[in-house]
Chains A and B, each alone.
Chain A
Amino acid sequence: MASTASPGKTAAALVAGWVLPGAGHAVLGRLRRGLVFFALVMGSFGLGVAHDGRLALYSSREWLLSSMQVLANVGVGPVDTIARVSVYGEPAYVRRDGDPDPKQEARIETFRARWRSALSIYGTAYLWTAGLMNLLLLLDVWDLSRGRKD
Chain B
Amino acid sequence: MSSHVVHLVLYSAIVAAFFAVLTRRERREQFRFGGLVFFGMTGGVLLLAYLMFPFPR
Contact = CB atoms under 8 A, between A and B. Distances in A.
**Would you call the interface of chain A mostly helix, strand, loop, or mixed?**
helix
A27 interface: no
A133 B2 contact: no
B2 A118 contact: yes
A136 interface: yes
B18 A125 contact: no
Contact of B18 (A119, A122, A133): A133
A43 interface: yes
Interface of A: 33, 36-37, 40-41, 43-44, 47, 51, 118-119, 122, 125-126, 129, 133, 136-137, 140, 150
B41 to A, nearest CB: 12
B2 A119 contact: yes
Given A33-B21, A36-B21, A133-B18, A125 B2 contact: no
Contacts of B18: 37, 40-41, 133
